[in-house]
A and B are shown apart, each in its own frame.
Chain A
Amino acid sequence: MIGNIQSHLSQNLKGSMKLLLYLLVSVLMFGSLIGAEQTTLHLWHPMPAPSRAVLNDLVAEYEALHPDIRVHLLYKENEEVRMAYMSATGFTEGGPDLLYGPSDFTGALVEMDIVKPLENFFSEEELAAFDPKGLTWYQGHLYQIGDELGNHLALVYNKRLFAEVGLNRPPETLQELIEFGKKLTIDKDGDGVVDQYGLVWNFTEPFFFMPFYASYGGWVMDEDQNPTLNNDAAIDAFKFVRDMRDVHGIIPIECDYDIADSKFNTGAAAMLINGAWSWAKYMDSPHVDFGLAVLPVNEETGLFPAPMIATKGYYMNPYVSGEREKQVVELMKFLTGAHAQFEYSSRLATIPTRLEVRQLPQIAEDPVIMTSIEQVSRGKAMPISPQMRAIWDAMRPAYQNVLGGSMTPEEGAAYQQKVAVQKVAELFEGQDIDRDAVNITAILVYLAGLILVIWALYKLFVAFILPLMHGIPGVQVQESRFGVLMVAPAALFIFGVVVYPFFYNLVISFSNMGLTTVNDWQIIGLSQYGKVLTDSQFYHFFLRTIIWTVVNVALHVIIGTMLAMLLNRPLPGKGIIRVLLILPWAVPSYITALTWRGMFNIDYGAVNIILNKFFGIAPISWLIDPTNAFIATIITNVWLGIPFMMIIALGGLQSIPQELYEAASIDGASPWQQFKKITLPLLKPVMIPAITLGIVWTFNNINVVWLVSNGGQPGDQTHILVSFVYRAAFNLYRYGYAAAFSFMIFLMLALFSVKFMQKNKATETAY
């Protein structure tokens, strides 16, 4: 059997070489003809760099075999590939022919009706060649063909560091994990700072907490997809992870994915819990003598920690049909075939879904794959229903709050259950509406819209077209026509881009559009607005956004103006200083915001190191404590925004005539009086428009908050309104609610800006 496959593989290869030659000849002869008939198939995937290399090779091979086919690959991050596929396929019936991803995409794709059932394209025999776990069925249909069983976490350890303390095997129980961890947590230079940790992993993320929850007998949902998060298992598992950090001290206080990865990879940590996708990297690391082990058993319960296992594989776009459909199926069969799976497995030690490949000696005898398979046998399949998303979003804040100390484990368990139930309900909201009933609300909304449009057109006619034809008093007709002509191109550009999205959101905000109603949403009136306004979180984050905006803009203006005043005098080296102060503006903020996040790290961040070295301040946990995290985002944004205000202020200061100061000096005015009586009043008209704009920009600045706090961490407590709506609504496909929420943000800002400018008399009389 095994030999059969190997010879089959090599025959395939020989065949392909012959085919290649044949094709070369035919291309030379009929080049133009074949070129014209080429079909390009699109495949989107979230594969990390090592798997991407294998995929590239496979596709090149496939294209050589099928000269009429070009396969076009596009890489995007996991979340982004899902969102991009949903936009392209769910909203425009476009998108790629194939989507590659983990099996937990399935539920949402099926609910949105944007994935094709595959059972009719494969014979029973073909399907029997797969491990049943490698085929993703949902509600009676086959939606995904897997090429890998993966994403499972296991224990990676550095044999060299183990040997240094006299250990020659990985821990076998959780008790041992702690014991070994203590032995391996070492302060090498005796300065009171740990230099090598026993264990690191991305423990603040619920996915990386799941195995422990399972080892106490817990699981995320029951058979009816209802969340099951409030139980002793959750409490015990919370305590276990917390104690590893606080009682046993074997894991760092702050540890996200990148820190864990970097620590282990450079030999600064002895054990690491990480997923199958990451192992290849550590095998190549010069600092790591790679060892892999299953997560050690929980001796209290006798259960093994069960990591979540996801099948990775291919989904097909439902809008593919005809001849193209055949081509896509053929490509999918190639990419999930024995040859392709062998390539992945042999190069990256992944677990193939095809049983025949798993039995090949190179695969079956590989120690990493053997351990990996053992770990999978102790794992549990990741639920593929869309509820899982809601559960993650509920677990994250509760879990992080427990770790941060603002909730007890008991409170955390109760809280995550409560939020999960609520979020699951939100996920399916709006689908219970009777679609056949006469929709009076819709008629009313459309009627109101129609009246509004007629009114606007009438207004436009009276205010715009009529004067253009007959002129306005005191202004020549010609002049106003010239004015309109000059503004028109820019206006067309701006409104061409803005108008449609604006009205689209307005309409959606009156609708029930959500996960299950993407294609058949209905107008339901104002109820989304009602939901926004009755949500206490809205007010909570509104208040926070105001603090965020006021503090930021105030500091931008104060520091910016101060620096401008220092620079507004003859000063050797002024030019270079000015340029250096402007630099934060010149570097894209998504780069510097990430850098700032790194600088706020508790152990390795420059901020703490500087505070410690020069001021002797003990390390501050910037990113774990919610208040500190919020301060960290503000510091970053202040840094980003000062140059703009400084430049505006410099311009304003330069336009103030020096004579005024000289005259004031002669009259004996003190510098403070000069500042108050001359500088401030003359700077104000220059600054007010900039401040208005600054407020509008800062209020909606999702970028900095998102990047510095890593999406609102800890526990979704560092959000401002825009990032909150993105996390809580858009993330759970609540399109209608998110649109209403955004409109509320928009209305508040518009109202405020108008009031603000009126109050500050930015309005002069028009000439």
Chain B
Amino acid sequence: MKKTSPLQYIMIYSILLVAVAWSIYPILRVITISIRPGDNLLTESLSIIPDDWTFDNYIKLFVDHPFGTWIWNSILVTVTVVITGVALASTAGYALSRFRFPGREASLLSLLVTQMFPATMLLLPLFIMLSSLHLINTYLGLIVIYSSTALPFCVWQMKGYYDTIPYSLEEAARIDGASRFMAFYKIILPLASPALVITALFSFMSAWTEYIVAAQVLWYEEMFTLPIGLKSFQANMTTEWGLYAAGAMIVSVPAIALFLFLTKYLIGGLTLGSVKG
């Protein structure tokens, strides 16, 4: 590729600068609301840090509301979901990439098909199902649902990544006497770590930020996960926007941090396999 000229640099940077500004401004806006005193929503100022900024809303979250408990609950649920998601997606993706077995193509296609039904319509039957299995007010019910919402995408992208790893590596291991599973576990899995990281990230996002299912399943405030806790600041007609924004930031910060650390895995690790092949 030719060397980039100074003029090109200026152009590239100015385009990127505009893109970055538009990408982060709305998020900074949430911060602004969270450190503004009271529920004052209206200001014609574009500045990010208001003159009379305060951390009151953040303090209130922890003093007046069991926000600490909610964080803990969310961590519990999310960690379980991430472990389940990684275990299931890494194995299923591998099989779909490497083996021919009956139902393989149907499985791949149905992964996509599961994404097509309007989610709003699944809520009521899901609730009926969980209720008849006595999974209301348990984390198990939540964990099962969260694990499976992220799974189709995760399996698909794991499969895509395995496709890029040469088959000869396992063959060599097999010749050396390793079993099929050992070849997968010892040789392929470590090579696929960028994709595993992404699967973990997606499982994390689906569990950490979800509130619609959680609101149906959990009836006890002390069992709430972070997003439903956050939701309880939103009352029709009387939303406490400052608290809501502060809570929103607390929900977002771990997600943002993860993205910060994992960007380098994300690029190149996120490869969606084609449905066939």
**Least distance between A638 CB and chain B CB atoms (Å):** 10
Q: Are B277 and A577 in contact (CB under 8 A)?
A: no
Number of A-B contacts (CB under 8 A): 360
Whole-angstrom distance between the Cβ of B99 and the nearest chain A Cβ = 3
Cβ-neighbour of B118 out of A571, A725, A753 (below 8 A): A725
Q: B15-45 CB contact bits vs A (8 Å, 1 = yes)?
A: 1100110111111011001000011111110
Determine if B121 and A505 form an interchain contact, defined as CB atoms under 8 angstroms apart. Answer: yes
Known: A702-B120, A722-B118. A763 touches B99 (CB 8 A): no
Q: When chains A and B are docked, how far (Å) is the Cα of A135 from the Cα of B14?
A: 67
What distance in Å separates the Cβ of B93 from its nearest Cβ neighbour in chain A? Answer: 8
Known A685-B274, A763-B275; judge A651-B268 contact (CB<8 A): yes
**Cα-based distance from A228 to B87 in the complex (angstroms):** 61
**Contact status of A686 and B271, CB under 8 A, knowing A92-B132, A563-B16:** yes
Interface hits, A643-664 → B, CB 8 Å: 643, 647-648, 650-651, 654-655, 658, 661-662
CA distance A762 to B260 in the complex (A): 32
Q: Is the CB of A766 within 8 A of B277?
A: yes
B124 touches A87 (CB 8 A): yes
B5 interface hit (Cβ, 8 Å): no
Q: Does A575 interact with chain B (Cβ within 8 Å)?
A: yes
- B92, A49: Cβ atoms under 8 Å? no
Known: A493-B147, A579-B260. A665 touches B101 (CB 8 A): no
- A601–B251 CA distance with the chains assembled, in angstroms: 25
Give A606's nearest chain B residue, CB to CB: B46
Please, which residue of chain A has its CB at the minimum distance from the CB of B221? A74
With A598-B29, A609-B44 known as contacts, the answer to whether A494 contacts B122 (CB < 8 A) is no
The yes or no answer to A29 lying at the interface (CB within 8 A) is: no
Residues A500 and B237 in contact, CB atoms below 8 Å apart: no
In angstroms, Cα B88 to Cα A297, docked, is 68
- Secondary structure at the B interface, as helix, strand, loop or mixed, is helix
CA distance A130 to B120 in the complex (A): 41
Residue pair A588, B248 in contact (C-beta under 8 Å)? yes
CB of A588 within 8 A of CB of B209, answer yes
A91, B132: Cα distance in complex, Å: 10
A480 on interface, CB distance cutoff 8 Å: yes
A36 on interface, CB distance cutoff 8 Å: no
Whole-angstrom distance between the alpha carbons of A457 and B104 in the complex?
A: 17
- Is B12 located at the chain interface by the 8 A CB criterion? yes
**Max chain B CB contacts within 10 Å: which of A606, A725, A742?**
A606
Bound together, the chains give a CA A764 to CA B277 distance in angstroms of 5
Interface residues of B (CB under 8 A from A): 1-2, 4, 12, 15-16, 19-20, 22-27, 29-30, 33, 38-44, 46, 84, 87-89, 91-92, 94-96, 98-105, 107, 109, 111-129, 131-132, 136, 144-145, 147-149, 151-153, 155-156, 160, 180-181, 209, 211, 215-216, 219-221, 227, 232, 234-241, 248, 251-252, 255-256, 258-260, 263-264, 266-277
Given A502-B122, A591-B248, A591-B252, output 9 extra A-B contacts at Cβ < 8 Å.
A479-B99, A481-B101, A483-B99, A592-B26, A595-B33, A651-B267, A651-B268, A654-B267, A689-B156
- Which are the 3 A-B pairs with shortest beta-carbon distances? A483-B99, A764-B277, A486-B95
A-B contact pairs, 13 of them (CB 8 A): A91-B128, A258-B41, A263-B42, A484-B101, A504-B128, A595-B29, A596-B26, A598-B41, A606-B25, A658-B1, A689-B275, A700-B116, A738-B121
